[in-house]
Amino acid sequence: MINEFEKRKLIAVLTIDKPEHAVPVANALAEGGITAIELTLRTGAGIESIREIRRCLPEIYVGAGTVLNCQQVRLAADAGACFAVAPGTNPKVIKEAAEIGLPFAPGVFTPSDIEIALECGCKLLKYFPASSCGMAHLNSMSAPYRHLGIKFIPLGGINLKNLAEMLSSPIIAAVGGSWLAKPDMVSNLKLDEIRANAQAASEILKSL
């Protein structure tokens, strides 16, 4: 999971209301150079959207986001999700993902969160919400644990202006961004806009 994210660097965070929008949006992102997607489970279309992307675009590294309980872990795995992430650190959810073999990154914001995640065997952690305190907080908070080889995925408040700064840190595996395909872009299938956003981000990634 860490290798996949370090290779792709940027994860498009999507919220989709209609499963039929999933493949066109994912394809537009891929055409722009972004091939990792976190599909949030904030709507009833999330699981089916993952299934459709895996069926039609197997080259996309797509996973489930906003995974809050064990049932969602199982549903994501059954849909073919490559990974799952959560906004917080729930040991029961982490254990369920481990038992069924679904790569999982819990969300952290405090040293206690990190220690719980480490105790559960997690080395890739979602830093959320990154916009609240930025890299200064993450650098200070993670310092006592860096020798353990942990990596982070910041989400929340990432954009073209701070993308390069976030990715320049050695503790960052990848970052997540919802600006690439905002809900209104998805629901109205603004594919040219989504593709252009992905291309602009890809140009920055190439320069790193």
Other beta carbons less than 10 A from residue 111's beta carbon: 14
User: 77: which residues sit within 8 A by CB, 6+ positions away?
Assistant: 84, 97, 100, 101, 102
Q: How far apart are CA 200 and CA 163, in angstroms?
A: 11
DSSP state string for 89-126: --HHHHHHHHHHT--EE-EE-SHHHHHHHHHTT--EEE
Q: What is the pLDDT of residues 82-91, one digit of tens each?
A: 999 999 999 9
Active-site residue list: 38, 126
The structure tokens 């994501």 sit at: 76
Q: How far apart are CA 86 and CA 188, in angstroms?
A: 27
Q: What is the pLDDT at residue 131? A: 86
Cis peptide before 58 (omega within 30 of 0): no
Question: Which residues of the chain fall short of a pLDDT of 70?
Answer: none
Contact 87, 81 (CB under 8 A): no
